[in-house]
Structure 1
Amino acid sequence: MAIFEEFKKFISRGSVLDLAVGVMIGAAFGKIVTSLTENVIMPVIGWAFGDIDFSKYFIRLGDIPAAYTGSPTDYVALKGAGVAMIGYGEFITQIVNFLIIAAVLFLLVRSINKMVESVKKEQAEADAAAVAPTDPQLEALKEILAELRKPKV
């Protein structure tokens, strides 16, 4: 029973829950980016370069089974038939996915860092203003010192 209580305490920590939520949101975001890449970006790139479908680019390494009746250029069907292949078109698609995710995360972290720096700067200015003495005698002494430092004519 002690292990269950210890596990319950571990799971109920805020950082573990935050991590779990982050992983779930990351997985959902990954699906969105994959859809964006496969359904929007890659077709536009394919159209721009002459109806190229990157998912169909592959290098066949093995022989096509004799019982296979599909197209010899259908990557999905050949893969389903167990033909050894290098799907470099899919690899290109995954690189684009990675670059999109990396760019979004970069922009997110950059904006958060700017916000944190701004808050720290405002806090430092507020702290400096709060620490500054407001003693009228000190202000009078500062004025006298400024007058004494002026060059004599």
Structure 2
Amino acid sequence: MLKEFRTFIARGNVLDLAVGVIIGAAFGTITKSLTDDLIMPLVGWIFGGFDFSSYFIRLGPIPETYTGAPTNYAALKEAGVPLIGFGQFVTVAINFVILAFIVFLIVRSVNRLLATMEKEKAEGTAPPAADPADVVLLREIRDELKKRNGAA
């Protein structure tokens, strides 16, 4: 069983998957920064706020021991107040759409590149075009003259 496991791990697909997961995590960090630091402030400014994550609905009372602001989503959540954080959901949904669009653009570019490479490869391996009839005729005449001169 150990040998079978080593064979499974050493297989190229598992290593490719591991690399993909690592790069995906790094790419997710870049996308999160793009969303949180560039896009969401712009969207928040357009819709009258600076951060969607601060939009929530409080479902329960605030504990008497709570000393923070009643509009601070993170602090209320940490204090155990039941909240519906629809703003945070909007932020995550927009982040997903941006990530999906970027992945779409990358896959689309790679597919176009591969199609171009396949087309160039197919054009490079195509059989040569047939010679025109006059060239064929001239070669036949040349070959016939060589035969006659060689036989004479």
Normalising by structure 2, we get a TM-score of 0.80
CA contact (8 A) 2:70 2:76 kept: yes
From 85, 91, 98, give the equivalent of 1:87: 85
The aligned amino acid for 2:72 is D
CA-to-aligned-CA distance 1:61-94 (integer Å, 9 cap, x gap):
1221222222111100110011111111111111
RMSD over equivalenced CA pairs, Å: 2.2
CA distance in 2, matches of 1:35, 1:118: 33
Count of residues in Structure 1 that have an aligned counterpart in Structure 2: 137
Segments of 5+ residues of structure 2 without an aligned counterpart are: 138-152
Q: Determine the structure 2 residue equivalent to 1:63.
A: 61
1:138 deviation in Å?
A: 9.5
1:136 deviation in Å?
A: 7.9
The aligned amino acid for 1:115 is L
CA distance in 1, matches of 2:134, 2:5: 62
CA distance in 2, matches of 1:105, 1:35: 16
Q: 5 Å matches for 1:43-54? A: 43-54=41-52
The aligned amino acid for 2:20 is G
CA-to-aligned-CA distance 1:32-83 (integer Å, 9 cap, x gap):
1111211221112223333432110001112212222221111001100111
Q: 5 Å matches for 1:1-153? A: 3-130=1-128, 132=129, 139-140=136-137
1:24 deviation in Å?
A: 0.9
1:134 deviation in Å?
A: 5.9
Change (3 A) 1:133 1:34: same
CA distance in 2, matches of 1:134, 1:16: 51
The structure with more radius of gyration: 2
1:98 deviation in Å?
A: 0.8
Normalising by structure 1, we get a TM-score of 0.79
CA distance in 2, matches of 1:136, 1:5: 65
- Between the two proteins, what is the percent identity of the paired residues? 55
